A = this chain, B = another copy of it.
């Protein structure tokens, strides 16, 4: 008997590689070497499967966010870990698969909006705290910085396919450098932190 996890893992691989539209339940059954009937006994439709995927992604995201918030005190360490978590998600999931799923299924869209909204609240709060603790330069405008960070992150997300070699180098210069630029190095040495963390985010 095939497990839900096996189906989900294979589905994610196929969707991320070929996109939401190009992959149907037939392709998936073939790839898993099971009959279509077996597959439909576990997931009654493609929508059902996609929703289960996003439920899984969304709860895995929440868990990792909680882990960061609970295990760390230092606000800029939290922010850096958040940023790397997003990088990891971008590397694992194909951005156009995410966008397409959000457009196709209202429930997926609401998962994504929920994640985005929560993240925004958390990050802006962390950055304000970092500024109060003098980890950030006193002339930093947290809201402006956050908007710019999101804009650049989305540009990275949309323009750099995760499989392009060197995308970690680009991430470093595109996403980490602007954060480094607003830090007070004496209070938070982001490059040292980054170099030690990045190895575990592949």
The chain A residues found within 8 Å of chain B, CB to CB, are: 137, 139-141, 144-145, 147-148, 151-152, 155, 159, 166, 169-170, 173-174, 176-182, 185, 191
B182 contacts A173, CB within 8 Å? yes
Q: How many copies does the complex hold?
A: 2
Whether A152 touches B140, Cβ cut-off 8 Å, given contacts A180-B181, A180-B182, is no
Instruction: Determine the chain B residues whose CB is within 8 A of the CB of A148 once the complex forms.
Output: 170, 173-174, 177
A173 contacts B166, CB within 8 Å? no
Instruction: Determine the chain B residues whose CB is within 8 A of the CB of A145 once the complex forms.
Output: 173, 177
Whether A151 touches B159, Cβ cut-off 8 Å, given contacts A181-B179, A182-B177, is yes
**CA–CA, A191 and B138, complex, Å:** 12
**CA–CA, A159 and B151, complex, Å:** 10
**CA–CA, A174 and B147, complex, Å:** 9
**Closest B residue by C-beta to A166:** B144
Q: List 16 A-B contacts (CB under 8 A).
A: A139-B191, A140-B173, A141-B173, A144-B166, A144-B169, A144-B173, A145-B173, A148-B170, A148-B173, A151-B155, A151-B159, A155-B155, A173-B182, A174-B178, A178-B178, A178-B181
**CA–CA, A166 and B147, complex, Å:** 13
